Amino acid sequence: MSDNNSFRAEVAAWLEANCPASMRRPIVAEEMVWGGSRLQFQNEDQRLWFERCRERGWFAPGWPREYGGGGLTPKQARIVEEEMARLSCRQPQYNLGVWMLGPVLLEVGTEEQKREHLIPMMRGERRWCQGFSEPNAGSDLASLKTSARRVQDADGEAYIVNGSKIWTSYGDQADWMYALVRTDASARKQQGISFVLIDMHAPGVSVKPIELISGKSSFCEVFFDNVRVPVRQLVGPEGEGWAVAKKLLQHERAAMSKFAEGGAPSHDALAVARPYLQEAAPAQAAVWRDRLAAQLMDAHAFALTHQRVTAQAMARQDVSGPAAIMKLVQTEQEVAKYELLVQVMGLNGLSWEGEDFTALEHDICRQWLLTKTYTIGGGTSEVQLNIIAKRVLGLPA
């Protein structure tokens, strides 16, 4: 225990000395540093924070040193994360590879796969995207159709992949994709699926950004036209990709919580609303005030639940129930918050561009529209409710 305390003190001191003050403020969308071959920094503080964490292996403090991690025990790794959260340190890099794929490769990947993929992730040199969703599949994920036909050619054994993926976040920025493909069209729905890693620079891969109602978006459509994927890029046994994907989605919750802990761009509702409240006529201001207070209390209750689930999980209590509500509650609260802010701003909240309105007003309008994706992507609210009803409450199918 005292060892852990001295370790915690060391971590805190290091963070104090090495995390620049500007990296301890809430993140905004354009300041997120994504690792990858297109790695870019907007300022020196971002670069310093990124490089200092990389040197210590703190992109993933708990991974083995041989794959570029920090080599810490699980308890120590948690202390690093806790201290970073306590000091409001930003994530040094945003990387789905580190958060989602990495833990799966550590568990079921081959030695060759670990060396080939984990080390570049840890250097912040390779950016990953997720290729699960397909056009027409929607929430019925297992109905995916992208095919992977096994062949033997001059370069060895490989899959020839044809089809397309949709709603791929930052597909146009990614270097690699982890994807679900159908390796056996005759098998039952979830059984013919395999989990493969695809080089986004390979011949036959093309990417088209999707324009959304909020204007630009991070979402893309990805097309595969006879893309050759070497069999060594298959993760887990052929035909058992569904189980691998389920493992990966368990890590999505931890990744989501990194967003919830000040990682995701969001606005302080009270700060945004206050001036508009002051301008409103008294009778209306009273109603806005009540609604704003209700919204703040929702957010407060969610933040406390986040803390509680973390504390209970660390005490090894069963948190499967409350953990299952987090995605639903967090995303619906974000939706409700922006609905309220847009309305509090009146028509100024619906401004699109130009200098007649403030930058914040433009920003709120677009963020309001973007939040509409939150309750659809990553499992719709309806799917989340099904999960709670069936897995947590045990209601019959």
Partner 1 sequence: MGFLLTEEQTMLRESALAFIAEQSPVARQRALRDDAAPLGYDAALWQQAVELGWPIAALPESAGGLAMGHAGLGAIFELMGRHLAALPLLSHSVLAAELLLQLQDGAQQQRWWPLLAAGDGRLALAIDESQRHLPQGFKTTAQASGDGWRLDGEKWFVIDGVGARWLLVAAQVAGEAALFIVDAAAAGVTVTPLHMADSHNHARVRLDAVQLPADARLELHDAATALERALDCARICLAAEAHGIAREVLERTVAYLKERVQFDVPIGSFQALQHRVARLYCEVELLDSCVRAALSAIDEDSSELPLLASLAKVRANDLCERLLNEAVQLHGGIGVTDEFDLGLFLKRARVIGQTLGDTLYHRDRYARLKGF
Q: Which residues form the interface with partner 1 (CB under 8 A)?
A: 270, 274, 277, 289-290, 292-294, 296-297, 300-302, 304-305, 307-308, 311-312, 315, 317, 321-322, 325, 328-329, 382, 385-386, 388-390, 392-397
Toward partner 1, which CB reaches closer, 32 or 285?
285
Toward partner 1, which CB reaches closer, 17 or 397?
397
Toward partner 1, which CB reaches closer, 52 or 327?
327
Toward partner 1, which CB reaches closer, 369 or 383?
383
Toward partner 1, which CB reaches closer, 66 or 279?
279
Helix (H/G/I), strand (E/B), else coil: 298: helix
160: Cα separation from own chain's centroid: 29
Toward partner 1, which CB reaches closer, 201 or 289?
289
- Cβ 136 to partner 1, closest distance in Å? 21
In single-letter form, the type of residue at position 354 comes to: G
- Cβ 289 to partner 1, closest distance in Å? 6
Toward partner 1, which CB reaches closer, 25 or 308?
308
- Cβ 314 to partner 1, closest distance in Å? 9
What residues contact 254, with CB distance under 8 A and at least 6 apart? 99
Strand locations in 205-330, DSSP E?
A: 205-209, 219-230, 234-235
Q: What is the spatial distance between Cα 203 and Cα 21, in angstroms, rounded to a whole number? A: 44
Toward partner 1, which CB reaches closer, 65 or 391?
391
Residues facing residue 165 across a β-bridge: 222
Phi, psi torsion values for 143, nearest 5 degrees: -85, 15
> What's the longest Cα–Cα distance across the chain?
78
- Cβ 306 to partner 1, closest distance in Å? 8
DSSP H or E segment with residue 307: helix 282-314
Q: What is the spatial distance between Cα 143 and Cα 160, in angstroms, rounded to a whole number? A: 19
Residue 304: CB atoms within 10 Å? 10
Contact 23, 45 (CB under 8 A): yes
Contact 384, 323 (CB under 8 A): no
- Cβ 345 to partner 1, closest distance in Å? 16
145: Cα separation from own chain's centroid: 24
Toward partner 1, which CB reaches closer, 354 or 394?
394
Q: Which two tokens stand for residue 238?
A: 């052929």
Q: What is the spatial distance between Cα 33 and Cα 14, in angstroms, rounded to a whole number? A: 21
Toward partner 1, which CB reaches closer, 42 or 139?
139
In single-letter form, the type of residue at position 306 comes to: H
- Cβ 143 to partner 1, closest distance in Å? 19
- Cβ 172 to partner 1, closest distance in Å? 35
- Cβ 297 to partner 1, closest distance in Å? 6
- Cβ 229 to partner 1, closest distance in Å? 38
The helix-helix angle for 269-279 and 320-344 (nearest 10°) equals: 30
In single-letter form, the type of residue at position 310 comes to: T
Phi, psi torsion values for 50, nearest 5 degrees: -60, -50
- Cβ 378 to partner 1, closest distance in Å? 17
Sign of the dihedral defined by the CA atoms of residues 254, 256, 259, 262, in that order? negative
Q: What is the spatial distance between Cα 107 and Cα 101, in angstroms, rounded to a whole number? A: 10
